[in-house]
Structure formats: structure tokens, C-alpha cells
Amino acid sequence: MKRPKKRSNRQPVDADLVVGANVRKLRGERQATLADVSTALGMSHQQLQKYETGANRVSAGVLYALAKYFSVPIESFYEDAESEAFQQDSELLRAQRKCHAIVDRTSSAQALDTMSKVLRAILDGKS
């Protein structure tokens, strides 16, 4: 009998946000899409996006694969943690992570459609 998969209660920490932001930065510098990188690493683009936003923690194995893909030392994923730009970016990433968590738990297409309309209305009102 299979045991149900246990979910970790460990929340991403600032280091996870730094790594994710640097993955996104490297991907942008290389003009690679989520699909390009995720396909090369054998994962879904949704999973890579969750790493970039800090919604999911990057394992040592994935970090190694990312370093090989981008041809950078692993330490480069931890750079700029103290910069002002990162501090502002991490606030944005935390907010995105909260939104992703809500969307990921929603299984109703109708509810997701309503959420997208509300978000669109908010964005349109800010223009």
C-alpha cells in the first residue's frame, strides 16, 4: 500500500527568493523562455516559475543543473542578496507567491475565471 505523500511545511526563506530572482535574471539575460530552460532541465515551466518566484525551494540537484545550464558557479545564485533592488524585488516575489498559492489551491475553473476577471479589473484601474 502506498503511503500518501507528506507535504513539507517549510516555507521558502530569503535565500530562496535570492536564488529564484537570480535564476530569473540569468534567464532574462540569456533571452531564454521558461519553456526553454524547463525543457532543458526536464521539468515543467510551472515548476521553474515556482522556483523563480520563491513559491518552491530549489533543491541542491536542481541548483546544480541550473548552474550547468547557465554555465555559472553555484555561488552566483546567491549574489545581490543585500542590494536595494533585490529588497524591492523580494517584496514583489512574496506578493506573487501569495497569489500563486491561492491559485494553486483552486480547483474550480469558474472560480479561476472570476479571479482572473477581478485581477484584470484591478490592473486596468491602475493604468
The Cα-based distances of 87 to 41, 54, 63 in angstroms read 28, 14, 22
Q: What share of the chain is helix, strand, coil (3-state, %, to 5)?
A: 70, 0, 30
Question: DSSP strand E in the chain: where?
Answer: none
Q: Which amino acid is at 14?
A: D
Q: Which CATH architecture has domain 14-126?
A: Orthogonal Bundle (1.10)
Separation between Cα atoms, residue 67 and residue 77, nearest integer Å = 8
Name which of 52, 50, 54, 57 is nearest 26 in CA terms.
52
Domain boundaries in the chain?
14-126
Most confident option among 26-30, 40-44, 87-91, 99-103: 40-44
Dump pLDDT digits (tens) for 65-111.
999 999 999 998 988 755 665 666 667 777 777 787 788 788 999 99
The pTM for the full model equals 0.61
